[in-house]
Structure 1
Amino acid sequence: MSVEVRPVRGVRELRSFVELPYRLHANEPQWVPPLRLERYLHLGRRTNAFFRRGEAEYLLAYRNGRVVGRISAHIDYRFCEFHRNRWGMFGFLELEDDVEVARALLDAAAGWLRARGREAMVGPMDFTLNDEGGILVEGFDREPLVRQPWHPPYYARLLEELGFEKAMDLLSWELRIEERQKVRPIIWRVAEQLEPRYGVRIRPMSRRTLWRDLRAFGDIYNQAWRRNWGFVPYDEHDLRQLWFELQLTFDRDWFMLAESREGEPVGVAITVPDVNRVLRRMNGRLLPFGFVHYLRRRRLCDRVRVGFLGVKPAWQHTGVAAGLYAALYRSSERTGIGRGEASWILETNSSMNRALDALGGRVVKRWRVYRRVLAGGGGLDGSPS
C-alpha cells in the first residue's frame, strides 16, 4: 500500500502524533517514555516560546489508515536572522523501519520548507538544539538520561539511504565523578586559585531566586555560546519557559553560578538529576500512581546530566570553568551521586572536549544532525559558526 502524509489537524491527530513513539518503542528496554503532559505542552503553539519566533507543521504518515510515521517541519526565524541563512528544520522524527515511509515524511517536510523559501533542511531538532536534537548513532545499548533522545539503529540508516549528510555530531561524555584520581591535577590547582587570585566565588542557586539567577544564566549563555554551531539567543520568553521546565528538576546541590567580587555573574553550571529513572516508572503518566514515583525522585535518581556549563569570554582565562568542575565534584561528595554525563557537546568544541578528557571522561553516546540541500536552494552557505 502507498504511504500518505497529512498535516495534523485537530486533537485526534495530535494524540496520534504524541502516541506514536510509545507504540514503536514499547518493547525497547533502553527507551524511556516521556511524560505525555510535557509533550503536549512542548508541542503547543500557545505554551512553547518557540512559536513567538517560528512556525511549524506537524505531519503524520499513514498506510492503509494506520499511522506509521511522524515528522515536523519548522522554521526558526531568529536562528536564520542570527546566522544569516535560510535554513529550515525538521524534528520529532519517529517511524517504522520502512524506506518508503521515511521518503514520504522527509519529502513532505521538504516541500513545506521549500514553499517558504528555505534553501536547506537540517535536523532533527525538536525544536532547537537546546531541546532534543540529533539521531543516535552510537550508544544504542545505554539508557538515555533526561532529555536525551534514543533511537534504534535504522533511523540513521534510512536518512543516509535518502541522501542526508552529516552536519554535526553531538557527544555525551560519561564522568565517573567518584573517580577523582583520574582528574588531571592542574584542574584542582587552577580551581584553588580562582577566588584568592581573581575574586571569583561559586554559589548555589536557590528556588526563591531562580528567576533572577536564570536571567543571569541567559546573559552568560548569549555571550559564551554565541559562536557555537546551532546557537539561538535566549530571550525573556525562552527563559520563562526554562524556569517553568526546571521547577520539576531543580536541585540546589547542582545549580550554580560563578560571580566576581563585584557580584557580576561570570559563569554557570546547570546540572540536572536524571529523572529518567522516575519517568520509566511513571510510564508517561502522572495518574494514578505516577506522581508517587515523582515524590520519591531523590531516592531514585543516582546520576546527573550536565546540561550547561559556560563562562563569559572575558573571564575564560581565569579558571572559572575549573572552579565549576571542582564544585561539581564537591556536590557529588555531598549527595552521594557519583556519575553522570555531559551532553550535548559539539564535536567541534575543542576546548570543552579537552576539558572533559582532562576530567577523566569518555565519549559514550553520539547523536548526528543531518542536512540536505533543497532543490532550487542556495546550498548550505552561511552555516552557523
Structure 2
Amino acid sequence: MKNNTDNKPIVYACSGCSSAAQMTNYLALQLDRKSVAEMSCIVGVGGNVKKLLHTAKSGRPIVVIDGCPLSCAKACLNNHDIQPTHHFELSKFGVAKKYHADFNLEEANKILQTLENCIISGEQKLLQEAQKPKQYKDIEIIEVSTKKQLKAFINFPLELYKGNKYYVPQLYKDIAATFDKNQNPALEFCEAKYWLAYKEGKLAGRIAGIINHKFIAQWQQPYARFGWFDFIEDENTAFALLQAAEKWARAKGMKAVHGPLGFTNFDYAGMLTAGFEELGTFATIYNFPYYPETIQKAGYKKETGWVEYKISLGTQVSEKLQKLAAIVERRLHLTSLKPTTKKEIQPFANNIFNLLNEAYAGLFGMVALNERQIEYNIKKYLSFIKPEFVSLVLDANKELAGFAITMPSLSIALQKSEGKLFPFGFLHIMKAFKKNNTADLLLVAVRKDLQGKGVNAMLMRDINLSFIKNGIAFAESNPELEDNHKVQSMWEYFDARQHKQRACFMKSL
C-alpha cells in the first residue's frame, strides 16, 4: 500500500461522549497512525469548512466509522453528495453504546484489525482495477502529431453538434492560437498531448491531456488535466479517451486527473451539468446531457462547480443600486471612467490584468498570469471589445480600483459563421457588435483592499446604463464559482435567473 496521502483513504469518525463514539475516534486515530488512512475532521465537512470539504471531494477513497445506527458521520458527508467507499457501523460489530463509560480496548483492537484488513484489501482491489488497462477493440486512439490531425481535433465539435441550436462554436482562430507554442505563452510551463478516437473508421471523439507545472508548484497538487473533451454518445469512446489521458498522466508521475480544464484559468473549463436547453456563450463549453453521466461512470467525482445567471434588464437602473453606488463613490473618493474609445482603455491594460491576478488569487486553480500571458490576453480581449461596454473605477490617486469588461453576445454570430472569420463570418460578428439585445459579462474584479465595500455597485450601475443606452435587454453572467457568494451578490439588484451549472470532475490515479 502507498503511504502517499494523495492516494491514501480519508477516514472520518462520528463524535460524541458515548463509549461507541470514543471507540470510533480511537479506531480512526489508529488507522491514521498505522498509515492505513488519513484522519480528517467530520465537523469540517458538516460545517462547510472549505479546505476540509475540498479534501473530502478530492476523489480519494473515504472510510466512515459510525458508533450507532444514526450514522451521523455518513449523514454529514451525504449532505454534500459525498458517498463513502467503506462504511463501518460499530453496532453491527456488537458494540454497545454506553454513556459515562469508557470503551473496551480489547474489543476495539479486534475491530481495528478487521477494519484494517478490509480497507487495505479494498483499496488494493480498487487500485488494481483502476490501473488495469481495459481493451476497447472497436475504438482506435490516435495521438495528434500532424497539422491535419490537429485541424480535425479542433473541428470535431462542429460535426458532433451540427444542428444543435444551443451549441456555440469556438472561434477557430483563437483555438488554433491556444495550441500554438509560438503564440500561447502558457505552453512555456504546460505539457500537453492530444488524442483522437475513431470508431469503425469514423472520428468519434477527442481529448487533451495537460500538465500545468506552475499550478502544481503553487497548489502542491500533482494533478494532470483533461480538456477539449468531446465524444459521440458511446461510453467506450469516452472511456478509451480518458484512459489514454490517464495513462499518460500516470507515466508523468501525476496522482490525479481533473477537468475539463484548459491550460490556465482563462481557457474553457467546466462540464455543463444543468441548462442543456439554454443557448451557450462564446466563453463557455456546451455539451450534451450524456457527458456528466459518462464521466461519473468512468470513476470521476465532482471536485468543484460553477453557476451561471441570465439577467433581465429593465429600462432603468434600480433606485437602490443607484443610491448605493453614489454612497460608495462619495465615501471612498472613487470616480467612474466610462471609455468611448479603445485608446482610453489602453493605459490601464496592464493594470487590469495585474488587478485581476490580485483579485482572483486563491480562487480554484488560479495561477497568476506572467508578463507574456498578460500581453497575450491584452491582444486577445482588449482588441476585441466594445469600449462602451467597459467600466473602470479609479481611486483618489487615479489608480485602478476595479473594472468590468463585457461585450455584445457573439453566440448567434458564431453559430452562423461556424466559428470562422472568413469568408463571411466577420460580417456576422460586426453585425452582432452593432445591433444586439444580449451581452456577455467577461471579467469583473475589484482590488483586494476595496472588496466588500460596494465597488461592484458602481461597476454594475455604469454597465447597466451602457446596456440600456445600447438596447441590451439581457446579460449572461458566464461561470462563477458556486461558493463565490461575493460575486453572486451582484445580481440581487437585478431580475436574475440561475439557469446553468457546470462542474470540474476528478479521479485519483
TM, length-normalised to structure 1: 0.91
Which residue number corresponds to residue 273 of structure 2? Answer: 137
**Worse-matched range after superposition: 33-42 or 68-77:** 33-42
Distance 1:128 1:224, change over 3 A: same
Give the corresponding residue for 1:154: 290
Q: Which one of the candidate residues 245, 251, 254 is aligned to 1:118?
A: 254
How is 1:307-318 mapped onto 2 (pairs within 5 angstroms)?
Answer: 307-318=442-453
Q: Partner of 1:343 in structure 2?
A: 478
- Number of corresponding residues: 372
Aligned with residue 214 of structure 2, among 54, 65, 78? 78
Mark the CA change 1:223 to 1:170 in structure 2 (over 3 Å): closer, same or farther.
Answer: same
Aligned to 1:201: 335
Greater shift in the superposed pair: 309-318 or 166-175: 309-318
Instruction: Name the aligned partner's letter for residue 224 of structure 1.
Output: A
**1:236 alignment partner in structure 2:** 371
3-state SS of 2:354 partner:
helix
Secondary structure, counterpart of 1:253 in structure 2: helix
Give the counterpart of 1:297 among 410, 415, 432: 432
Does structure 2 retain, via aligned residues, the 8 Å contact 1:178–1:332? no
Q: 1:258 to 1:134 in 2, by over 3 A?
A: same
CA contact (8 A) 1:275 1:301 kept: no
Distance 1:157 1:256, change over 3 A: same
* SS of aligned partner of 1:21: helix
Alignment partner of 2:465 out of 330, 339, 343: 330
8 A contact 1:273–1:303 mirrored in 2 = yes
**1:205-220 equivalent positions in 2, closer than 5 A:** 205=339, 206-220=341-355
Q: Give the Cα–Cα distance (whole angstroms) in 1 for the partners of residues 499 and 345 of structure 2.
A: 32
**CA 1:100–1:283 in 2, change beyond 3 Å: closer, same or farther?**
same
* Structure 1, unpaired ranges of 5+: 375-385
1:101 equivalent in structure 2: 237
User: 1:276 maps to what in 2?
Assistant: 411
- For each residue in 1:162-187, what CA deviation from the matched residue of structure 2 results, as whole angstroms up to 9, or x when unmatched? 11111111111111122657x5x553
Corresponding residue SS for 1:263: coil
Tell me the equivalent position of 2:146. Answer: 10
- Paired letter, 1:195: E
Higher relative contact order (CA 8 A, sep 6+): 1
Q: Let me know the Cα RMSD of the aligned residues.
A: 1.8
Post-superposition CA distance 1:353-376 (Å, at most 9, x none): 2332343322111111111111xx
Equivalent residue for 1:383? none
Aligned-partner SS, 1:118: coil
Runs of 4+ in 1 over 6 A off after TM superposition: none
Give the secondary structure class of the aligned counterpart of 1:15: helix
Query: d(CA) in 2 for partners of 1:247 and 1:199?
Result: 27
Q: CA deviation at 1:199?
A: 1.1
2:326 aligns to what? Answer: 192
Aligned-pair distance for 1:7?
1.1
What is the CA-CA distance between 1:15 and the residue it aligns to? 1.6
| Contact preservation (8 Å) 1:218, 1:235 | no
Q: Is the 8 A contact 1:249 1:275 kept in 2?
A: no
Mapped contact 1:177–1:338 kept (Cα < 8 A): yes
Q: Deviation of residue 300 (structure 1)? A: 4.2
- Which range moves more in the overlay, 260-269 or 205-214? 205-214
- Residue number in structure 2 paired with 1:252: 387
The gaps in structure 2 that reach 5 residues or longer are: 1-136
Return the alpha-carbon distance in structure 2 between the equivalents of residues 242 and 275 of structure 1: 18
Contact preservation (8 Å) 2:392, 2:403: yes
Determine the C-alpha separation between the residues in 2 that align with 1:320 and 1:108: 47
Cα distance in 2 for residues equivalent to 1:99 and 1:319: 48
> How much has 1:293 moved relative to structure 2?
2.2
1:163 matches 2:299:
yes
Hey, what's the Cα distance between the residues in 2 that align with 1:33 and 1:173?
A: 20
Q: CA deviation at 1:211?
A: 4.2
Distance in 2, matches of 1:99 and 1:256, equals: 46
1:306–1:343 Cα contact (<8 Å) kept = yes
Give the Cα–Cα distance (whole angstroms) in 2 for the partners of residues 238 and 194 of structure 1. Answer: 33
Stretch deviating more after TM superposition (186-195 or 328-337): 186-195
Equivalent residue for 1:372? 507
Contact 2:338 2:462 in 1 (8 A): no
After superposition, give the CA deviation of every residue in 1:90-132 in whole Å (9 maximum; x if it has no partner). 1000111111111111111011111112111110013333221
* Whole-angstrom distance in 2 between the partners of 1:143 and 1:340: 12
Task: Answer whether contact 2:315 2:468 (CA < 8 A) is retained.
Answer: no
TM-score by length of structure 2 reads: 0.70
Greater Rg by CA: 2
CA contact 2:338–2:390 (8 Å) conserved in 1: yes
Is the contact made by 2:158 and 2:418 (CA closer than 8 Å) also made in structure 1?
A: no
Percent of aligned pairs with the same amino acid:
24
Q: Secondary structure at the match of 2:227?
A: strand
Is the CA contact (8 Å cut-off) linking 1:89 and 1:125 kept in structure 2?
A: yes
Deviation sequence 1:42-77 (CA, Å, 0-9, x none): 222222121022111111112233221100000111
* Distance change in 2, residues 1:180/1:168 (3 Å): farther
Report the residue type matching 1:262 in the other structure: N
2:482 is matched by which residue type in structure 1?
E
Q: 1:22 to 1:194 in 2, by over 3 A?
A: same
Residues in 2 aligned to 1:314 and 1:284: alpha-carbon distance in whole angstroms: 40
Deviation sequence 1:270-293 (CA, Å, 0-9, x none): 112211222122123222222322
Deviations 1:303-357 (A, max 9, x none): 1111211211211243211111111111112211121111211001122223323
